[in-house]
Amino acid sequence: MNGVFILGLAILIIGAVSVTFARPKTYLARLINLEIPGWGLLLIMLAYDEGLALLTFVAVTAIATFVIVRVMEWRDAA
């Protein structure tokens, strides 16, 4: 099968396992690990030639990361 698809699937599985069993059980380590399966999903979208979906997914991931960081700061301040 396509090499890009296999690579994306491997990175997606590695990232999902690392988010589920984050070693330092902090919100920060879990947020950084959440970036890994995003790039794996990007490679899978690339294997199916979905260009516009790829662009939208990257932009929405950046906005969602910003929102989660702000929520973590509010939780620390409270």
Could you list the residues that contact another protein (CB under 8 A)? 3-4, 7, 10-11, 14-15, 17-18, 23-24, 26, 28-29, 31-33, 35-36, 39-40, 42-43, 46, 49, 51, 54-55, 58-59, 61-62, 65-66, 69, 72-73, 76
Distances in Å between the alpha carbon of 5 and those of 10, 25, 42, 54? 9, 31, 10, 14
* DSSP track, 50-75: -HHHHHHHHHHHHHHHHHHHHHHHHH
Least distance to another protein, CB of residue 67, Å: 9
Least distance to another protein, CB of residue 46, Å: 6
